Amino acid sequence: MDSVAVIGASLAGLRAIETLRRDGFEGRIHLVGAERHRPYDRPPLSKQILAGDWETERIWLTSDEALSDLGCEPLFGVSAVALDPETLQVDLSTGDALDVDGVVIATGARTRTLGDPLGGVFTLRTVDDAQSIAAAFDQGPDRVVVIGAGFIGAEVASTARERGIAVTMIEAAQTPFERSLGTEMGAVIVDMHRDQGVDVRVGVTCEELIGEQNVTGVRLSDGSVIDATVVVVGIGVTPNIEWLVTSGLDITNGVLCDATMLAAPRIVAAGDVARWPNRLFDEVMRVEHWDNATGQAVHAAKRLLHGSSVGEYAPVPWFWTDQYDRKIQLAGRTTGFDEVIVVEGAVEDRRFAALYRKADRLVGVLGFNRPRHVMRYRGLIESRTSWSDAMAAQF
Amino acid sequence: MSFKVVVDYDLCESNAICMQIAPEVFEVRDDDFLYVLADEPEETQREKVEEAVQRCPKQAIAIAEA
């Protein structure tokens, strides 16, 4: 293998390059990134950048010098538009093409939107998005409406409240995070936002964004209208797979890989765009978390370089979200769980750890300001610990 | 050859990822603060500490060659 194209210049793409070099790859590395920026860290966007606490300089994951030291040839502001899995030719939006011996697909995902955008309606994924929303917050809007109480929406609501802005957050489900956390734990998050003054409305959707050029309000499915000049839409993301339509790869809800992150001979995938069978949970999954982007990229790069001897990628997914003064962390795979039990601390204090059971196994741990417990139990999930053993554990 | 573990406590948010990767070096205690158990770990810990550097969500850990 003499040359590799890494398609996607965010966290996963960068970690893949670093791993290739650390493991001794000496060939050419092309880095193709659709954004005009070098790789940067996304978690601070909804928090420190939106709050105005950080200069943008602080989010860069690497410097031009470090990229050059890695011997990678970056193409920023350029998209890949097609991949031929036989010849490993990557066609670019510039009309040029790369002919390589290995490909890392790390094109990530993009935000879902609510149709034609009015002025004042935003989604949050990129640093440009975050700067636009921060600028809108700087204008001192009377109210911000957050559509979708997922983690991005909840973080935006949290940051807006900390800036003293009135917030209405609407959520289609009766309980936010119902699927992943369950109604009881989802309600803890809702209560936390209400205590901070957020007007949380559940079981309603956005019927209409009102306004001519700029948004002036939101009409909800229950008929009510909320006046707002800033609306942030956080209704999830969709993987960036359109450029692979002609490749013949399975791109249903992400690039399907085998358990080692191989999508096809000499092609691996990692990050938000990758779907793979995680043997630890016997489930084909696509994980949109920061930690997975890193771990999966390291694994995928090693798979490309060393072959199947690197084994399967079977992690315990983990993420954190910071809302107000709470650090909320979830490790495991809780969808479809049978039972949740608080094992440490108290829900009323919003400082606790709760375990999730599925059949006779520990499958998840949720922590509110309990990072130590989350990581200990994460270890137990990784070792397929039974529910009874997990309940008996003392940390 | 030995190395030093350097934590930027202004950045650290006690996510405890490092503790899971290298429990001999990092510990998040009940007060939610991170404690470095070995400032200059054994060379055998280097690979784990490097992984902790890479996996830290706040990029708060660095290695300095001592």
- By CB atoms closer than 10 A (0-12, 13-18, 19+), residue A10 is buried
A292: closest chain B residue by CA: B55
Paired sense of beta strands B26-28 and A255-256, if any: unpaired
Q: In chain A, which residue's Cα lies nearest the Cα of B35?
A: A372
- The reported pLDDT for the residue numbered B1 is 67
Q: How far is A313 from chain B (nearest CA, A)?
A: 16
Q: What is the pLDDT of residue B2?
A: 86
Rounded to an integer, what distance in angstroms lies between the CA atom of residue A391 and that of residue A340?
A: 11
**pLDDT tens track, chain B, 66 positions:** 689 999 999 889 889 999 999 999 999 988 888 999 999 999 999 999 999 999 999 999 999 987
With an 8 Å Cβ cutoff, the interface of chain B facing chain A consists of 13-17, 19-20, 28-30, 32, 54-55, 57, 59
Q: Which two tokens stand for residue A69?
A: 């030291």
The shortest C-alpha distance from B15 to chain A (Å) reads 5
Closest residue in chain A to residue B53, using alpha carbons only: A294
- A326 interfacial to chain B (CB closer than 8 Å): no
> Any chain B CB within 8 A of the CB of A371?
yes
Predicted model pTM: 0.95
Among 3.40.50.10740, 3.40.50.720, 3.20.20.140, 3.30.70.20, what is the CATH number of B3-65? 3.30.70.20
Looking at beta carbons, which residues of chain A come within 8 Å of B12? none
B15 to chain A: which residues are within 8 Å by CB? 320, 327, 329, 371
CA dist A372 and A200 (Å) reads 30
Contact assignment for A298 to B54 by CB distance below 8 Å: yes
| pLDDT on residue A122 | 98
- Which of A41, A43, A372 is the closest to B30 by Cβ? A372
Residue in B15, B55, B59 closest to A371 by CB: B15
Spans of all domains in chain B: 3-65
Q: Do A322 and B20 touch (CB under 8 A)?
A: no
Across the interface, which of B13, B16, B57 has its CB nearest the CB of A372? Answer: B16
- Pick from A392, A337, A395, A362: nearest CA to A184: A337
Q: Are A380 and A332 in contact (CB under 8 A)?
A: no
Measured between beta carbons, the chain A residues lying within 8 angstroms of B14 are 327, 371-372
Give the gap in angstroms from C-alpha A375 to the nearest C-alpha of chain B.
Answer: 6
Q: Is A369 on the interface with B (CB under 8 A)?
A: yes
Mutual orientation of helices B46-55 and A290-306 as an angle, nearest 10°?
130
For residues B13 and A323, is the Cβ–Cβ distance under 8 A?
Answer: no
Summarised one tens digit per residue, pLDDT across range B41-58 is 999 999 999 999 999 999
Mean pLDDT for each 10-residue chunk of chain A (395 residues)?
97 97 97 97 96 94 95 97 98 98 98 91 97 97 97 97 98 91 95 98 96 97 97 97 98 98 98 98 96 97 98 97 94 96 96 97 97 94 98 91
Which residues on neighbouring strands pair with residue B24, listed in sequence order? none
The pLDDT score that the predictor gives to residue A117 is 81
In chain B, residues with a C-beta closer than 8 Å to the C-beta of A291 are 17, 55, 57
- What is the CB neighbour count within 10 angstroms for residue A214? 11
d(CA B16, CA A296): 19
Contact B59 A291 (CB under 8 A): no
